[in-house]
Structure 1
Amino acid sequence: MDRTAFEAALPRAGFTESVGQDLPAGDTTPEHSHNFDARLLILSGSLILESGGTRRSYGPGEVFEVPRDTPHAEIAGATGVSYIAGRRR
C-alpha cells in the first residue's frame, strides 16, 4: 500500500490521529502497550514486532495493526525504519 491510500483510509476506519516516526538501525522500544488501536504503514526499512512470544518483520508497503492494550516490543531493522501510524481511541 502507498502512503496516499493509507492516509485516505485511516479516517474511514476511525483512525483520527496519525504520527510519523523514524527509528535508527537496531533501535528497540521495550515491551509496552497503548490505550489506542494502532495501524502502521512501513515507508522504508523494516520493523520487527514482537508480541505474544512471536516476532514478525514488516517491510515497505506493509500494513499491520496493534490492538489497544496489547503488550508488544518494536525493533528497527538493520537499516532503520520510517513509518506512519494511525491511532484510534
Structure 2
Amino acid sequence: MNPISFSDYEALRRAEGFDEVLLRDWAPNAVIDTHTHPFAVKALMVSGDLWLTCDGDTRHLRAGDTFELPHEAPHAERYGPAGATFWAARRHAL
C-alpha cells in the first residue's frame, strides 16, 4: 500500500518541474535490453519486482522503492514473475 495517492504523487512531481506523470504496468518476466529515454525519470514502485541495471549496478526494486534516471541514461530492465507497476514522472529535455 502506498503512503500517498497517485494524484498527490503527480502534484509533488509537477511541483518539482516534471511535465508528465504516468502509471506504467509491465508484463510478467518482461526484459528490456539496454536503452535510453529522451527524458529524466523519477519513479515510485507500486507493486511487483524490477531489476534495474544502470552503470553496471543492478538494483532490485519492490513496492515503496524509488528510482531516478537522468536524461539519456543507458539502462536495462527486468521484471519479476508478477510483472510490476510504478508511477513515473518524466522531465522532457528542452
In the superposition, the TM-score normalised over structure 1's length comes to 0.89
Quick one: distance in 2 between partners of 1:48 and 1:24?
14
Q: Does 1:22 align with 2:25?
A: yes
Aligned letter for 1:77? G
Larger Rg: 2
Equivalent in the alignment of 1:41? 44
- SS state of the match for residue 25, structure 2? strand
Match of 1:88 among 83, 88, 91: 91
Kept in 2, the 8 Å contact 1:38–1:65? The answer is yes
Task: Identify the residue that residue 2 of structure 1 maps to in structure 2.
Answer: 3
Structure 2 gaps, min length 5: none
Aligned residue among 53, 57, 74 for 2:77 = 74
Tell me how many residue pairs correspond in the alignment: 89
Over the matched positions of the two proteins, sequence identity in percent amounts to 33
Cα gap change, 1:63/1:6 in structure 2, threshold over 3 Å: closer, same or farther?
farther
The Cα offsets for residues 37-85 of structure 1, whole Å up to 9 and x where unpaired, read as 1011111111110111111011111111111111001111222101111
- Residue in 2 that maps onto 1:55: 58
How far is 1:6 from its partner? 2.3
Q: Give the C-alpha shift of residue 18 in structure 1.
A: 1.4
Q: 1:65 aligns with which of 68, 72, 91?
A: 68
Consecutive unaligned residues in structure 1, runs of 5 or more: none
